[in-house]
Homo-oligomer: A and B are copies of this chain.
């Protein structure tokens, strides 16, 4: 079985390393070896152990009938989309680690794969090494999925874990994460929740069978979370996690990415540092959780190689996943109900006037009061919050 890698960066070279290191066991499990024939990259890699594999034109790979499985680890929507489309149309199956490509073009590429009787898979695009995609599409196939909650961004989980542990403020921890390489120079995609948003859109598409437009998902990041918020959380016995959630409502889902207050009896409370986890509730299965390294070259490459084995086992047939191009109309996120923790400079009498039954979370800080609301819809909360005024911060309970 001849294979090709498009894009020899961190993940792509990780894939080559996994194929080299574990060639024996892969051959035993598959019944034949996975032989790397091409690596597509515009750069030169003199002295690389796979030096003879490098090509600069994707068409060389597309036209070689011997290659049945292609890996895309270039990142970004273009030219990845053009190259992947060409491979599928040339009768090759493709796996990608590229969440931008999958969130934007997943349903379209799935259709092209089906029409060409090949497969398009993307285990590494969500949750890094955690096999959440195959769990949803090939294991929990007897369940209606009622809720998914994902800690699916290692950068923000690392930052929040450290803010909690050291009592530090956001800017300080961001600078540290950047210096360690855990956060990018422009951290926007991670810290504002855009990365998590694309991932929960993909997961929701898979469980609903329809296509979720990630632009429609209300998304808040962690950049407004402060050391004081963590002090309040701790005083209540909670932590703060950036959670991407999807909840079944009637025939559709409602999605949201936001920081949530979580407590120790909830398994996701214990997901620390750069680790990721996806909690899934099925109507028959009940609660389950899948935990592991959400990023990193080798864990991600491990997921890509797992996909390659799957593709090699199904080289002559399209495996239905059930992700159509039909748009999923998400339920109104303003109708979701939560309990909220609120910090405000408003007077206690005004708080009780606007929110009626509240519990107080008192840190004895000057000029502010922390309180917990009853459960209410986003819509109602936003109205009462505006009427109260003096809001310093507000965080939902998970």
Contacts and interface: CB of A to CB of B under 8 A. Distances in A.
A18 B129 contact: no
A320 B309 contact: no
Interface stretch (A154-162, A213-221, A290-298, A372-380): A290-298
Given A141-B306, A305-B142, A285 B289 contact: no
A28 B310 CA distance: 22
A21 B134 contact: no
A228 interface: no
Nearest to A25: B144
A141 B29 contact: yes
A288 B288 CA distance: 14
Nearest to A276: B288
Given A29-B209, A291-B289, A131 B142 contact: no
A138 interface: yes
Contacts of A174: none
A75 interface: no
Interface residues of A, number: 55
A29 B320 contact: yes
A292 B299 contact: no
Interface string A13-40: 0000011011001101111000000000
Contacts of A19: 142
B285 A293 contact: yes
Given A138-B134, A320-B31, A284 B298 contact: yes
A22 B143 contact: yes
A285 B267 contact: no
B134 A139 contact: yes
Interface in A283-328: 283-293, 296, 298-299, 301-306, 308-310, 313, 319-320, 322
A348 interface: no
A176 to B, nearest CB: 21
A130 interface: yes
Nearest to A319: B313
B283 A287 contact: no
Interface in A147-174: none
21 contacts: A18-B143, A26-B141, A29-B320, A29-B322, A30-B320, A129-B286, A131-B135, A134-B138, A135-B139, A139-B303, A141-B305, A142-B302, A142-B306, A143-B306, A284-B298, A286-B292, A286-B296, A286-B298, A287-B292, A288-B290, A288-B293
Given A18-B142, A134-B134, A288-B291, 12 more contacts: A21-B283, A22-B142, A22-B143, A29-B322, A123-B139, A130-B288, A134-B139, A138-B306, A142-B304, A285-B299, A286-B292, A289-B289
